[in-house]
Structure 1
Amino acid sequence: MRDIGQLILQTNYESSISMTDSKFDQSEFHDMFIACIIMHDLSFQCVEWVEVRALLTYLRRDLQLFSRNTARSDCMKLFIKEKSNIRSQLANLTSRVCLTSDLWTSINTDDFICLTMHFIDKDWHLQKKIISFYLMPPPHDSISLFEKLQSFVMEWKIDTKFFSITLANVSANNTLIEFLRNHLCLRGALFCDGEFFHIRCTAHIVNLIVQDGLKEVNLSVIKIRESIKYVKDSQVRKQKFVDCIKQSCL
């Protein structure tokens, strides 16, 4: 990676030092900035922040800055490019893929469905790619989820490369799996007729176990929380609580 700067020090074989102009690529800087926005989930407006622009122009006076609209457009271009790369990779894939899907609710209560693909590439490296993330309005019944997942599978043309899918351990997903398994088995697309097709999410199962366990100690947990609230409501109570701790440690 090239450093963004105007001067670099170079030492020759005779240990003499000379200063030369570094090679700067405006296009590479542009791509790196776009990658930074995506990697760190920055606002498109960050390219127009006054202090950011002041810092960049200080590093290089002739730097060509761009607007938030250009940043948005370039992020979409990069998305399309990466999506095309994944399609090419899948087209040449000889192994099968495993999928993970779940529903997610945003802070403004909009529901989304996410589909993640896992596979081993030709160099035996495990790959994980989020291939679909779409708005999923109600209803969230088995038929609606089946139609959505089926459309994802057909869009990415992985129906003949399917091995398994991991879903949350809820009753609606049981019917969904039957619909999806039957649809794929009719096309002879599943390994061992789908015997290993459905995998229940271990994290969700553990969460359900913990929730049931917490119900058994729910009254004790409530008492502890209320005690903490009582102590934190007053600085005097906090000090008395600290004094009690010191006395109990003597």
Structure 2
Amino acid sequence: MVQGELNTSNPSGPLTHRTYNKDRDRENFAKMVVVCGLPFSFGEHPGFIAYIRDTYNPSFKGLSRSMVKRDIFEFQEKHCQYLRAYFEIMDCRVAITTDMGRSPNGFDYLTVTAHWTDYNWNLQKRIIGYKICQKKKTGMYIATTVLEILDFFGLCDKVISITLDNASANLNAINMLETRLCPISKYAFHVRCAAHILNLVVSDGVKLFENSCDKVDNACFYIFHMNSSSRINQFKELCNACKLPFRKVLKHVKTRWNSFYEMLEVAYTYKEPITMQFNSHNAYPEFKLNDSDWDEVNELRNF
């Protein structure tokens, strides 16, 4: 299929012809699915098929989920081969960062990212590994997984530093990686994760207000994060009574210090409806919210 295309640099000029390429279309669609977080079945959705037929291509038949999945893995493989070739001729060192996380369905995963400066002195970074942890996250397992990823991309002799937090398993992994990677400087090889250290500092500081903060945290969890529509509806009614727009309070993520402050910031704004609802369902006086609790929250919020 050949489509006329207007040259934006010369709107008054003639139309140029652009030939439709099915392989390019499938690759671009696979990229869109990944970037936008769409389901693999999006390509066969009736609404999407109707949109493409009415707007671009009347003969479009859709893309099956198996086809989209296959295209995504083929594009990933192609991009990995490109990175391997790029790293092979690259004559600089790379800094490696790792991140341990847990998905909503309970799977632990390890992400490895490479950072380097290209020939134009632009900072580049690419995720080169995303592995589901099939075993317990010991130092041996972490070191072995990172080495497998680095070896696949030919980076074992080009690593200048690795960023890991201060967990004991990570410290053991660093000792093993030092032996294998032979860094320029052992003192600069292990970069402590600043975000993890900051989170530890904030967590220690919050302990001074632990009683009040725990009460507010428990109240927000009880109202917003126990999948109870009746509690949400009651909170909406209390917001209307207090002349406040309805808004949920975000869940406190213990590994993200700023999420705690975001939770307190919103909770303090809605302290009246939160206090009324939580205290009405709480039979224990020592666990009920009071003005002194909110005063401490406000002091910490303004810190």
Q: TM-score, normalised by structure 1?
A: 0.79
Match of 2:108 among 111, 134, 137: 111
Counterpart check, 1:42 vs 2:38: yes
Amino acid at match of 1:191: I
2:195 matches 1:203: yes
The correspondence of residues 201-240 of structure 1 with structure 2, limited to 5 A, is 201-224=193-216, 233=234, 238=239
For residue 10 of structure 1, report the CA deviation from its aligned partner: 8.4
CA distance in 2, matches of 1:80, 1:95: 24
> Map of 1:81-120 to 2, 5 A cutoff?
81-120=78-117
CA contact (8 A) 1:26 1:63 kept: no
Q: SS of the residue aligned with 1:133?
A: strand
- 1:118-157 matched pairs, under 5 angstroms: 118-157=115-154
Instruction: Give the gaps of 5 or more residues in structure 1.
Output: 246-250
Residue 191 in 1 paired to residue 187 in 2? no
Deviation by residue 1:40-61 (Cα, 9 ceiling, x = unmatched): 1211100100010001011221
The SS at the match of 1:137 is coil
The one-letter code of the counterpart of 2:130 is F
Deviation at 1:62, TM superposition (A): 3.0
- CA–CA separation in structure 2 for the residues paired with 1:175 and 1:158: 21
Q: What per-residue deviation string (whole Å, max 9, x for no partner) do you get for residues 179-231 of structure 1?
A: 2112333xxxx213x2210000001111111112222112222444577769x
CA-atom RMSD, angstroms?
Answer: 3.2
In the alignment, what sits opposite 1:23? 18
Residues 111-137 of structure 1: per-residue CA shift (max 9 Å, x gap): 111111111112222111111111212
1:88 & 1:53 partners in 2: Cα distance?
38
Q: CA deviation at 1:8?
A: 5.9
Question: Normalising by the residue count of structure 2, what TM-score does the alignment of the two structures yield?
Answer: 0.67
Instruction: Provide the C-alpha distance between the structure 2 equivalents of 1:144 and 1:234, rounded to a whole number of angstroms.
Output: 46
Which amino acid counterpart does residue 30 of structure 1 have in structure 2? R
Q: 1:133 to 1:50 in 2, by over 3 A?
A: same
Question: What's 1:248 paired with?
Answer: none
Q: In structure 2, the residue corresponding to 1:101 is in which secondary structure?
A: strand
Structure 1 position 142, deviation (Å): 1.4
Query: Shift in Å at residue 241 of structure 1?
Result: 4.2
SS of residue paired to 1:23 = strand
* % identical aligned pairs: 25
Q: Distance in 1 between matches of 2:112 and 2:4?
A: 47
Cα separation, 2, equivalents of 1:148 and 1:235: 48
Q: Tell me if the contact between 1:116 and 1:131 (Cα under 8 Å) persists in the aligned partners.
A: yes
Partners of 1:10 and 1:155 in 2: CA distance: 43
Displacement after TM superposition at 1:7 (Å): 6.1
The unaligned stretches of length 5 or more in structure 2 are 224-230, 245-271, 273-303
* Contact 2:27–2:75 (Cα < 8 Å) also in 1: no
Q: Is the 8 A contact 2:49 2:60 kept in 1?
A: no
SS of residue matched to 2:188? coil
SS at match of 1:191: coil
Number of positions where the alignment pairs a residue of Structure 1 with one of Structure 2: 232
Instruction: Give the Cα separation in 2 of the matches to 1:240 and 1:54.
Output: 46
Task: Check 1:31–1:214 CA distance in 2 against 1; reply closer, same or farther (3 A cut).
Answer: same
Structure exhibiting the larger radius of gyration computed from Cα positions:
1
Q: Write the distance in 2 (CA, Å) between the matches of 1:73 and 1:236.
A: 49
Query: Counterpart amino acid of 1:195?
Result: Y
Distance 2:142 2:88 in 1: 26
CA contact (8 A) 1:45 1:68 kept: yes
* Worse-matched range after superposition: 110-119 or 174-183: 174-183
Residue 237 of structure 1: CA displacement? 5.0
- What letter is aligned with 1:63? F
